[in-house]
Amino acid sequence: MGIARSVPQERRRATRVDRLERPSPCGARRRRNPDCRVIVVKISGSCHCGAIAYEAEIDPARVVVCHCCDCQKLTGSAYRVSVGTRRSQLVVHRGKPTLYVKGADSGAKRAQEFCPCCGSPLFTYDLQNPEKVGLRVGCIDQRSELRPSKQVWRRSALAWSSCLAHLPSQEQE
Ligand SMILES: [Zn+2]
Ligand SMILES: [Zn+2]
pLDDT digits over 50-108, tens only?
999 999 999 999 999 999 999 999 999 999 999 999 999 999 999 999 999 998 778 88
- Whether residue 166 lies inside any domain: the answer is no
Domain range enclosing 120: 3-157
Distance 153 CA to ligand 2 centre (A): 7
Distance 62 CA to ligand 1 centre (A): 25
| Total number of domains constituting the chain | 1
- In the structure, ligand 2 is a single-atom ion and the residues with CB under 5 Å from it are 66, 68, 71
User: Are the CB atoms for 103 and 65 separated by under 8 Å?
Assistant: no
Per-residue pLDDT, 156: 96
User: Are the CB atoms for 125 and 87 separated by under 8 Å?
Assistant: yes
Please tell me whether residue 78 adopts helix, strand or coil conformation: coil
Please tell me whether residue 145 adopts helix, strand or coil conformation: helix
Distance 121 CA to ligand 1 centre (A): 9
| CATH number of the structural domain spanning residue 71 | 2.170.150.70
- Whether residue 165 lies inside any domain: the answer is no
- Whether residue 63 lies inside any domain: the answer is yes
Instruction: Return the ligand number nearest the Cα of 134.
Output: 2
- Whether residue 138 lies inside any domain: the answer is yes
User: Are the CB atoms for 111 and 122 separated by under 8 Å?
Assistant: no
- Whether residue 13 lies inside any domain: the answer is yes
Instruction: Return the ligand number nearest the Cα of 70.
Output: 2
Question: What's the pTM?
Answer: 0.78
- Whether residue 52 lies inside any domain: the answer is yes
- Whether residue 164 lies inside any domain: the answer is no
Per-residue pLDDT, 118: 98
